[in-house]
Amino acid sequence: KPVILTCAQPTGQLTLGNYLGAIKNWATMLDDYECYFGVVNMHSITVPYTPTDLRKNTLSCVAQYIACGLDPERSNIFVQSHVIGHTELAWLLSCITPIGDLQRMTQFKEKAAKLGFNVGEGNDLKFTHEGARAGASVNSGLLMYPVLMAADILLYNADAVPVGNDQRQHLELCRDLAQRFNHKYSDTFTIPEAFIPKEGARIMSLQDPERKMSKSDDNQNATLYLLDEPSKLKKKIMSAVTDSGSEIVAGDDKPGVSNLLQIYSAMSGRTVADIEESLKGEGYGTLKKEVADAVISVLEPVQAKYHDLIQDKAYLEGVLKSGAEAAQKRAYKVLGKAYRKAGFVERP
Ligand code: ATP
Ligand code: MG
């Protein structure tokens, strides 16, 4: 079977964007692929965080994966820090990565900007004084993020990586690095394909529909979390930013309405055109109410399953134990090969 590898960060709670752009599709691949689903906690420390939260969110993320349909009997669910090889391979790759390639990454610029830093033209890191968080700095881990991500993928010689649209640029870099390594040494890594879904690949913030929905958004109202109570989901959707005019149609001039239609469509399986047709003459309030109902009816069973799973720590730890074993087995093989190619002598 071809291999897929894909991950989410336990930086916070998973969002509807993570579900529609990523996890929902992963769940459809269990039978046709050998699946590795990582909880990438080493990526989470590239931005300000609290260790106790990270610890809690890691197990919670595993339970959310399973509640969303990632069956551990048919996949390998593991925590990144449990597998030796991710950071080791990242080091090998970093030594063939030009710094400039990292400084122009959109996610790096956005996450640096969130800390109050502005990556200007010519890749100079410019400090913008207003808005800079007290004591904040852009750490080199944030810059290295895409290299570690490339290592996550190449360490399993993954054939494909199912991700949301925002990861397209990082995937390109990963493919570049694999090719560069293969060329510099000799054929070592599979060049992974990006699998980006047609629908739901870019769910936008409810408060600023020009930006993607993110679990690390400071504005809690902008993001729908999978574990938000139904009343909270509804409240957030009802207060979503909409656009001028009153017609319920998708279009470039209507980012807010388009996003709601996109969410509605992905949650209900109905086409946007069908929804537009059925809501002809109705107002934004009706649209929002229907979106809320669609979201809640999909998430309620996920939440019920989650609340059962999270009680059973022993079960979750068992999942992680067998996931780590399977992942490590594959990772050691690929890491060993990469070390040999790079000229590292084997440990006697
Ligand atoms: P963070 O703000 O911490 O980066 P995130 O919401 O971007 O959080 P990630 O853990 O970085 O979540 O990404 C997990 C997966 O979810 C990736 O495949 C990513 O492409 C996908 N994803 C993230 N946000 C969205 C979104 N708004 N729409 C669709 N897919 C998304
Ligand atoms: Mg992200």
Q: Which two tokens mark 88?
A: 């080791």
Q: Is residue 169 part of a domain?
A: yes
Q: How confident is the model at residue 137 (pLDDT cuts 50, 70, 90)?
A: confident
Average pLDDT across the chain, whole number: 94
Question: For residue 216, which atom of ligand 1 is closest to its CA?
Answer: 2
Summarize pLDDT for 152-196 with one digit per residue, the tens. Answer: 999 999 999 999 999 999 999 999 999 999 999 999 999 999 999
Q: Which two tokens mark 2?
A: 């071809």
Task: For strands 34-39 and 3-8, give the pairing.
Answer: parallel
Q: How confident is the model at residue 113 (pLDDT cuts 50, 70, 90)?
A: confident
Predicted complex ipTM: 0.99
Write down the pTM of the prediction.
Answer: 0.95
| Cα distance between residue 78 and residue 88, in whole Å | 17
CA-closest residue to ligand 1 atom 14: 8
Which of 69, 52, 51 has the alpha carbon at shortest distance from 14?
69
36 by DSSP, 3-state: which?
Answer: strand
Contact criterion met (CB below 8 Å) for 163 and 21: yes
pLDDT of residue 115: 83
Annotated binding site: 9-11, 17-18, 152, 164-166, 203, 212-216
Bridge partners (DSSP) of residue 347 are: none
33 lies in the same domain as 164 = yes
143 lies in the same domain as 16 = yes
Contact criterion met (CB below 8 Å) for 168 and 196: yes
- DSSP-H helix ranges across 68-167: 86-94, 99-103, 106-114, 140-154
Q: What's 152's domain CATH number?
A: 3.40.50.620
Contact criterion met (CB below 8 Å) for 174 and 154: yes
Q: How many CB atoms lie within 10 A of CB 256?
A: 20
Estimate to the nearest angstrom the gap between the alpha carbon of 216 and the chain centroid.
Answer: 11
Q: How confident is the model at residue 37 (pLDDT cuts 50, 70, 90)?
A: very high
Amino acid type, 55: R
101 lies in the same domain as 184 = yes
293 lies in the same domain as 319 = no
69 lies in the same domain as 144 = yes
| Cα distance between residue 163 and residue 107, in whole Å | 14
Residues in the chain: 348
Q: Is residue 203 part of a domain?
A: no
**Number of domains forming the structure of the chain:** 2
Question: For residue 204, which atom of ligand 1 is closest to its CA?
Answer: 27
**Domain coverage including residue 318:** 3-196+313-342
325 lies in the same domain as 177 = yes
51 lies in the same domain as 174 = yes
- Nearest ligand to the CA atom of 15: 1
Q: Which residues line ligand 1 (CB under 6 A)?
A: 8-9, 11, 15, 17-18, 20-22, 163-164, 166-167, 201-203, 212-216
In sequence order, what E strands does the chain have?
3-8, 34-39, 76-79, 117-119, 125-127, 160-162, 193-195
Contact criterion met (CB below 8 Å) for 182 and 335: no
Q: What's 263's domain CATH number?
A: 1.10.240.10
Q: Is residue 176 part of a domain?
A: yes
173 lies in the same domain as 241 = no
228 lies in the same domain as 162 = no
